[in-house]
Amino acid sequence: MSKINLFSSALIAASMMIATPAVVHAAGDESPPKSTKTTKKCKEGRVYDAETKKCHKVESHNFSDDQLYLAAREMAYDGQYQNALNVLDAAENQDDPRILNYRGFTNRKLGNHAVAMEYYEAALSIDPDYILARSYMGQGLLAYGDKAGALTQLAEIRERGGRNTWSYTALSLALRGTPTSY
């Protein structure tokens, strides 16, 4: 796919997200993270702490679950799947749907389809309205040949008020055969 087509797809996704800002956060929709010093500066799965202005080993620093989640998410999008899983391991609340969703995402990217689906299902059992988990699950189903399952997740996102969100757009693009890195 050309850079122009990728740019066009990203532009469409961004414009759709702007259309419904109230739905976006309330429904759990999140566009890909921007790179921070965690992925730009830190090595070996360390996480940047803005307060100390240093990269720390996760187990040697008192990061909140929110900080760990954001760092793991960023690492996952940067292709640092094992580092992301290690950071997620340090979260106190292992039943947080966001933590479960990114365990699914990283396992899907590592090729562990069945494990990924278990994590997505666990996240959705806690929060059925978590449309990002539905989008990632749908993309995983599609990657393994289950187009009907992916369409079901797309319909669920739409029915839960997520039609004009990044999650809906990303899964729609995948269903149309537009390659994504999500």
CA trace torsion 27, 87, 102, 68 (10° rounding):
10
Q: What is the DSSP string of 98-117?
A: HHHHHHHHHHHHTT-HHHHH
Contact partners, residue 115, CB within 8 Å, separation at least 6: 104, 107
73-94 burial string, b = 16+ CB within 10 Å, else e? Answer: bbbbbeebbebbbbbbebbeee
Q: What is the pLDDT of residue 31?
A: 80
Q: What is the pLDDT of residue 137?
A: 98
pTM of the entire predicted model: 0.81
Q: What is the pLDDT of residue 1?
A: 45
Question: pLDDT, tens digit, for every residue of 137-171?
Answer: 999 999 999 999 999 999 999 999 999 999 999 99
Looking from the CA of 153 toward its CB, the CA atoms found within 13 Å total: 29
Question: pLDDT, tens digit, for every residue of 50-62?
Answer: 999 999 999 878 8
Q: What is the pLDDT of residue 178?
A: 85
Neighbours of 42 (CB within 10 A): 21
CB distance 102 to 76 below 8 Å: yes
- The low-confidence residues of the chain, meaning pLDDT below 50, are 1-27
Distances (CA, A) of 42 to 39, 58, 145: 6, 12, 37
